A and B are shown apart, each in its own frame.
Chain A
Amino acid sequence: MNREEFFEQLREGLSGLPESEIADILYDYNEHFEIGSSKGKTQEEIALELGNPQTIAKSYRVNAKITKAEKNPSPSNLIKALLAAMTLGFFNLIFVLGPFLGVIGLLFGLYGISIGFVAGGMGSILSTLAAPFFSGIHIGVHPITSISIGTGLTALGVLLLIGSFYLTKFLYQLTLKYLRWNLDVITK
């Protein structure tokens, strides 16, 4: 591959990024080719040593998406970064999607438990308060017991909910860090 072909493929792979960024990236490779030739290397040698321009371009595109998800955290930016990482190859699908689904599953579970605790606790309090008004309903335990259990459960649920919220934020950052690492490892 000669210099023109390398640049053509690199530019094509970078399309979608802001024009100023593309120019900046191309500048680096232009400089690399210039210095390489001044040291007596042929265009073909330099291109070969640089590696596949399409893979190089992908690595920039995924990096840009990860950075965006870091700066403007949102589920859609995270998913875009994940999808971009997956385009790096089939192999990556397993490495990215597997852990991510595991994390999502864990979070759903935690939110479910928290909401369950709150609902159970509130139910326990409300039914104790409501029981005297409905003759024939016996809750089976002393009102003080059920109210304190209810309060305890609700408080535990709220704490878990707060904890899950912080965990979500933490895992969001962790996912991005993982993607970065994954990107460094996979792209050759």
Chain B
Amino acid sequence: MNIQFKKGVLELCVLSLLTKRDFYGYELVEYISQHIDISDGTIYPLLRRFRADGYVTTYLQESQEGPPRKYYKIKEDGRQAFKELLEEWEEFTARVNEIIRGDLNE
């Protein structure tokens, strides 16, 4: 798929996952790159911006293997941003589908 397409929806995908539960960075990267072919390195700058914008907070948690993991937890502002992005996305896809699947009414 077109890279511009993917980038545009990345924000929505990350926020959407975070509304379901807390994730650490690697998990998010792994999950998303299973579905969308994107450089893993694009997620971390995004997460950092989310934190600067007050969309998420982070906390460290020990794990059985390897170093402590930095978990991302969504905040109210993040939920609000997700809601707005989701509405935009749904309206956009509905309109595109109207064109693609609709009859040509002239």
Residues of A within 8 A of B (CB): 24-25, 27-32, 34-36, 38, 49-53, 55-56, 59-60, 63, 67, 180-181, 184-185, 187-188
Contact = CB atoms under 8 A, between A and B. Distances in A.
B83 interface: no
A49 B33 CA distance: 10
Contacts of B7: 184-185, 187
Given A185-B7, A187-B42, A28 B67 contact: no
Interface in B1-38: 3-4, 7-8, 10-11, 24-26, 29, 33
B92 to A, nearest CB: 14
A185 B8 CA distance: 7
Given A50-B40, A187-B42, A60 B48 contact: yes
Interface residues of B, number: 27
Given A60-B48, A184-B10, A32 B66 contact: no
A67 B29 CA distance: 24
Main secondary structure of the interface of A (DSSP, over half): helix
Contact of B41 (A27, A30, A50): A50
A148 to B, nearest CB: 47
Contact of B25 (A32, A38, A49, A67): A32
B81 to A, nearest CB: 13
B56 to A, nearest CB: 13
Contacts of A28: 25, 44, 47-48, 70
A180 to B, nearest CB: 8
A25 B69 contact: no
A59 B25 contact: no
Contacts of A188: 3, 39, 42
A50 B43 CA distance: 9
Nearest to A59: B45
Contacts of B65: 38
A34 B65 CA distance: 9
Nearest to B29: A32
Interface in B49-85: 49, 52, 65-67, 69-70
A41 to B, nearest CB: 11
A63 B70 contact: no
Contacts of A35: 24, 26, 66, 69
A25 B48 contact: yes
Interface centre among B11, B67, B69 (most CB of A within 10 A): B67
Given A25-B48, A27-B70, A49 B3 contact: no
A29 B31 CA distance: 17
Given A56-B45, A188-B3, 11 more contacts: A28-B48, A30-B67, A32-B26, A50-B41, A52-B41, A59-B42, A60-B45, A63-B48, A184-B46, A187-B7, A188-B42
